[in-house]
């Protein structure tokens, strides 16, 4: 489970663009707290604390203990982060208010285990990763940091799907209409290229042989026709 981080939230009475710009100049990030069937609350949080969490790559899966300036406390999770495309800094965060029975859909990082034991990899195969994260439906207060995907038994050409993974209790895939391939063991690129070259060479050789055979046949037919014409001329 992701550990909750404590953030201080300063209540913000004004929500216009000029006020949000002023908040950023003061080293804060404007946020909106919403959800749990309650009215949205505009707050400011410290930009340094938020940036530290953002740089871990786990901000969207981390619970926050938000302590407001009026003394109110609540658990929230970042649901949307807006980044300045020029300065690469956080300019706004949407925070989802959570209760004990809340559920959230989050992208959870995949951790591969057993790579050294995979028969396919031992024989020269390469682990080709299709998904580095998977979207899971989780209890809001029990979000896993990562999920372990065992690839120790994968042979060359085999894949591991989400249905093969043991998920934590009460954690379910968001996508249910199809199974998701997470990774597979494939032949090295060099071998694939060699196979393509060999197949192409064989096809070219077959086409060349067919062409030569056609030429020989056509030549024979032409020769026979010329011989027949010559015979008829001599008879005349």
Which domain CATH number covers 92? 2.40.240.10
Q: Is the pLDDT of residue 155 over 70?
A: yes
Q: What is the pTM of this model?
A: 0.68
Total tally of structural domains belonging to the chain? 3
pLDDT digits (tens, 9 = 90+) for 8-33: 999 987 667 777 888 888 889 999 99
64 and 77 part of one domain: yes
Checking 68-75 for CB contacts under 8 A at 24+ apart, the result is 68/9, 68/10, 68/11, 68/41, 68/43, 69/8, 69/9, 69/10, 69/11, 70/11, 74/33, 74/98, 75/4, 75/140, 75/141
pLDDT in tens, 165-178: 999 999 999 999 99
Summarize the confidence of residues 181-203 as an average pLDDT.
70
Q: Are residues 92 and 21 in the same domain?
A: yes
**Of the candidates 73, 99, 125, which is a domain's last residue?**
99
Domain stop point among 172, 187, 202: 187
How confident is the model over 78-90, as pLDDT tens digits?
999 999 999 888 9
Same domain, 194 and 183: no
Full residue range of the structural domain in which residue 210 is found: 190-236
Alpha helices, DSSP H, located in 85-188: 119-122
- Average pLDDT of the segment spanning 150-170: 95
Are both 67 and 128 inside the same structural domain? no
Residues 138 and 206 in one domain: no
Whether 156 contacts 121, CB under 8 Å: no
Separation in Å, CA 144 to CA 2, 50, 62, 217, 222: 6, 21, 9, 72, 79
Cβ 62 vs Cβ 98: under 8 Å = no
């Amino acid at each position: 489970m992701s550990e909750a981080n404590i953030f201080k939230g300063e209540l913000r009475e004004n929500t216009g663009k000029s006020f949000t710009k002023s908040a950023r100049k003061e080293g804060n990030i404007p946020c909106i707290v919403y959800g749990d069937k309650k009215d949205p609350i505009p707050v400011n949080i410290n930009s340094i604390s938020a940036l530290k969490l953002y740089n871990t790559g786990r901000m969207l899966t981390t619970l926050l203990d938000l302590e407001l300036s009026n003394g109110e406390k609540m658990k929230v999770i970042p649901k949307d982060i807006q980044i300045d495309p020029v300065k690469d800094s956080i300019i706004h965060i949407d925070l989802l208010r959570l209760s004990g029975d809340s559920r959230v859909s989050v992208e959870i990082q995949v951790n591969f285990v057993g790579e050294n034991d995979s028969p396919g990899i031992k024989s020269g195969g390469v682990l080709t990763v299709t998904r580095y994260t998977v979207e899971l439906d989780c209890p809001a207060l029990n979000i896993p940091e990562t999920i372990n995907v065992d690839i120790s038994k994968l042979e060359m050409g085999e894949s591991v799907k989400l249905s093969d993974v043991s998920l934590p209790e009460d954690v379910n895939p968001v996508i249910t209409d199809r199974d998701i391939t997470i990774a597979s063991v494939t032949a090295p690129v060099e071998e694939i290229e060699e196979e393509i070259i060999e197949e192409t060479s064989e096809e070219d050789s077959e086409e060349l042989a067919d062409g030569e055979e056609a030429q020989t046949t056509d030549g024979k037919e032409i020769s026979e026709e010329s011989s027949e014409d010559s015979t008829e001329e001599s008879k005349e």
